[in-house]
Amino acid sequence: MSLLTDLINLDLSDITEKIIAEYIWIGGSGMDIRSKARTLSHPVTDPKDLPKLNYDGSSTGQAPGKDSEVILYPQAIFRDPFRRGNNILVICDTYTPAGEPIPTNKRANAQKYLAIQMLFAEEPWYGIEQEYTLLQKDVNWPLGWPVGGYPGPQGPYYCGTGADKAYGRDIVDAHYKACLYAGINISGINGEVMPGQWEFQVGPTVGISSGDQVWAARYLLERITEVAGVVLSFDPKPIQGDWNGAGAHTNYSTKSMREEGGIKVIKKAIEKLGLRHKEHIAAYGEGNERRLTGRHETADINTFSWGVANRGASIRVGRDTEREGKGYFEDRRPASNMDPYIVTSMIAETNHPLK
C-alpha cells in the first residue's frame, strides 16, 4: 500500500510537460457528478485552449443508445488538489454534436440571464450556503448516529465541538483546504443543527462563476467522501421528524443594492420574488416540500414572506443591511439539492433591470 501511495503522489513535472485534465459534468439526474480524465501535452490555464471531449450519453441518461454521443465544452478551470502539480479540474457543460445544449445543460441558459445583468453593469454577487449530510456507507444513516437509533435532541450540535457533537470534521476540513487549493472562493464552514450535517459557503462570486464554483466544490466533496468511505447526501430532509432539513440558502446583491439607498432596490426585488413564488419553488430542488414546512427555520412552502433577521421567512434581510440601508438579501427557499445554475439565473431573471 505504501508503494501505491507513492505512485499516486508522483510529481510528473520534472520529467514531462504533459498534464492530466479531469473533465467534470452533471449527469442525467441533475445531481450526479460525472468525470473522465485525458492527457494534455502541456499546462493550460484558459478553458478556451482546452479541446472538447465526448462521452457516452446513453450511460448517463442523457442520450439514446442509437445516437449516444454528447460533447463536453470546457468552461472553468480549477487546480487539482488530488493530482496536484499542473494538473487541473475542468467544469464542462454538455452539447449535441451539432452544438445545441442538451436538455440537462442548465448552464447555457443561465449564462444568458446572468450576462444580461452584466450588460446592465449590475455585477450580480452570489453567496451560496451549501448544507449536506454525511451518512454511514452501509446503512445510509447519519454519521455518528447509533445504527437504527437516534442521538440526543438538537441543540448542542450547531457549530459544536466534541466527539459527541461533531461527526466528520476531518472530512469537512479536508474539503475546506481542497477548495482553497483548487481556487474556489470558499468563505467558510460550520457544523449544522442536525448532527452529521455540515455546511460550506461559496462566495461572493460574480455571475456564472457562482454555479461553476459550487459544482466544483460539490465534486471535491464527493471525491473526499469517496476516499473516506462515507456517503454524501444532498437530500433536503434526510431524516424525518424533529430534525432540521438541508438547504442551499442563496445570498444575492447587485451593484444598485450595494450602493447608497440600495434598500429600496432590495425591497423591490423581494416584491418581484413574491410575485413568482410558485415558479421559484418549482425550480428550487426536488423534495423541498419535505423541508419547507414552516418549522426548523423554514417558511411554509405555500406562503411567501420576508423579514429582517427572520430565519423563518422565505427571504431574510440582515440587520447590517437594514442599518446601513444597503447590502444584500438571503433567499432561504432553495433546497440543498438545487442546481446553482438554475437558482442564480432565476433570481437574476426575476430581477431583470427592465422588469
Quote the mean pLDDT of the chain: 95
Q: Is residue 110 part of a domain?
A: no
Residue type at 340 in one-letter notation:
P
At 96, the pLDDT band (50, 70, 90 cuts) reads: very high
pLDDT score for 352: 77
Neighbours of 153 (CB within 10 A): 10
Question: Whole-angstrom Cα distance, residue 348 to residue 340?
Answer: 12
At 226, the pLDDT band (50, 70, 90 cuts) reads: very high
At 296, the pLDDT band (50, 70, 90 cuts) reads: very high
- Same domain as 121, residue 97: no
Q: Is residue 280 part of a domain?
A: yes
Q: Is residue 94 part of a domain?
A: yes
Question: Whole-angstrom Cα distance, residue 44 to residue 68?
Answer: 29
pLDDT score for 353: 67
Residue 120 has pLDDT above 80, yes or no: no
Answer with the one of 50, 74, 102 that is the final residue of a domain. 102
Mean pLDDT for 180-184 is 98
Q: Is residue 69 part of a domain?
A: yes
Residue 259 has pLDDT above 80, yes or no: yes
Mean pLDDT for 119-147 is 93
- Same domain as 282, residue 204: yes
Q: Is residue 34 part of a domain?
A: yes
Q: Which residues pair with 315 in a beta bridge?
A: 306, 331
Residue 4 has pLDDT above 70, yes or no: yes
Mean pLDDT for 324-335 is 98
Residue 198 has pLDDT above 80, yes or no: yes
- Domain span at residue 45 reads 4-102
- Identify the CA nearest to 246 among candidates 295, 197, 188, 284: 197
pLDDT score for 159: 98
pLDDT score for 143: 97
Question: Whole-angstrom Cα distance, residue 196 to residue 190?
Answer: 11
Helical H segments across the chain, by residue range: 2-8, 106-119, 169-182, 209-228, 255-258, 262-275, 277-283, 319-324, 340-350
What percent of the chain shows pLDDT beyond 70?
Answer: 99
Residue 354 has pLDDT above 70, yes or no: no
- Same domain as 122, residue 89: no
- Same domain as 162, residue 56: no
pLDDT score for 112: 87
Sheet strands (E) in 58-185? 69-79, 88-95, 125-136, 141-142
Answer with the one of 57, 76, 102 that is the final residue of a domain. 102
- Same domain as 177, residue 87: no
- Same domain as 136, residue 57: no
Phi, psi of 192 (to 5 degrees): -100, 180
Q: Which residues contact 120 (CB under 8 A, 6 or more apart)?
A: 353
Mean pLDDT for 23-33 is 97
Number of domains within the chain = 2
Q: Which CATH number does the domain housing residue 217 bear?
A: 3.30.590.10
pLDDT score for 121: 80
Lowest mean pLDDT: which of 8-17, 113-122, 271-280, 327-336? Answer: 113-122
- Same domain as 193, residue 150: yes
DSSP result, 193-217: SSTTEEEEEEEEEETTHHHHHHHHH
- Same domain as 96, residue 166: no
Q: Which CATH number does the domain housing residue 84 bear?
A: 3.10.20.70
Q: Which residues contact 16 (CB under 8 A, 6 or more apart)?
A: none
**Which CA distances in Å does 129 have to 50, 85, 173, 250, 323?**
31, 30, 16, 6, 23
Mean pLDDT for 189-218 is 97
Q: Is residue 298 part of a domain?
A: yes
- Same domain as 239, residue 134: yes
Q: Is residue 295 part of a domain?
A: yes
Q: What is the model's pTM? A: 0.96
- Same domain as 151, residue 283: yes
pLDDT score for 351: 86
Answer with the one of 102, 131, 151 that is the final residue of a domain. 102
- Same domain as 93, residue 140: no
Mean pLDDT for 194-210 is 97
At 355, the pLDDT band (50, 70, 90 cuts) reads: low
Q: Which residues pair with 313 in a beta bridge?
A: none
Question: Whole-angstrom Cα distance, residue 281 to residue 183?
Answer: 31
Contact predicate 344/250, CB 8 Å: yes
Q: Is residue 109 part of a domain?
A: no
Helix (H, G, I), strand (E, B) or coil at 344: helix
**Which CA distances in Å does 307 have to 269, 314, 346, 355?**
14, 8, 21, 23
Mean pLDDT for 197-224 is 97
- Same domain as 209, residue 140: yes
